[in-house]
Each structure stands twice: as structure tokens, then as C-alpha cells.
């Protein structure tokens, strides 16, 4: 256990931030699954927009690095496109 006041404070901050980060990361994963499983162009477009918003918020709160956030958005967009035959 920490013995200094600053160490105790840092421990509390780490616990709080860890909970927040896990919650946000879980939210990003859930919305990504929703985008992949959505049917119809309008539904995909709406859920993709929501996913972008959630990822951008996570990047702004420093849960994800901005490059990782960009990579996630790209990955979700690629997976949500409808593949054409031919």
C-alpha cells in the first residue's frame, strides 16, 4: 500500500481512470459490432456515424491515441461496406 499522500491520490486516480477507460473501450467494441451486424443502407449509415462519434470522443479523452482512433474508424468502415459480385 502507498505510504505517501501523493501515491494514495495517484492510486485513486488510476482506479477511476481505469474504470472510465474500460467503459469507453467496451462501448466502442459494442458499437463496432452493431455496425457490422446492421442490415440496410440507412441503418448502416446511422450506426457508422454513431461509431465515429464514440471513437472520436474516446480519442479526445485520451483513451485511444488519435492514430489508433483513425485506424479503428477505417477498419469499421471497411467492414461495413457491401461487397459487390464481379
**Can you tell me the distance from the alpha carbon of 50 to that of 44, in angstroms, rounded to the nearest whole number?**
10
**Can you tell me the distance from the alpha carbon of 42 to that of 27, in angstroms, rounded to the nearest whole number?**
21
- Digit-coded pLDDT (tens) for 3-47: 999 999 999 999 999 999 999 999 999 999 999 998 888 888 999
Which stretches within 1-86 are classed as H helix? 5-37, 41-60, 66-80
Query: Tell me, what's the pLDDT at 52?
Result: 96
Instruction: Decide which of 58 and 2 is more confident.
Output: 58
Helix orientation angle between 41-60 and 5-37, rounded to the nearest 10 degrees: 170
Amino acid at each position: 500500500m502507498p505510504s505517501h499522500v501523493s501515491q494514495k491520490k495517484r492510486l485513486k486516480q488510476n482506479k477511476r481512470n481505469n474504470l472510465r477507460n474500460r467503459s469507453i473501450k467496451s462501448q466502442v467494441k459494442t458499437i463496432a459490432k452493431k455496425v457490422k451486424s446492421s442490415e440496410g443502407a440507412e441503418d448502416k449509415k446511422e450506426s457508422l456515424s454513431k461509431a465515429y462519434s464514440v471513437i472520436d470522443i474516446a480519442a479526445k479523452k485520451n483513451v485511444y491515441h488519435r492514430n489508433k482512433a483513425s485506424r479503428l474508424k477505417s477498419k469499421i468502415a471497411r467492414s461495413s461496406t457491401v461487397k459487390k459480385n464481379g
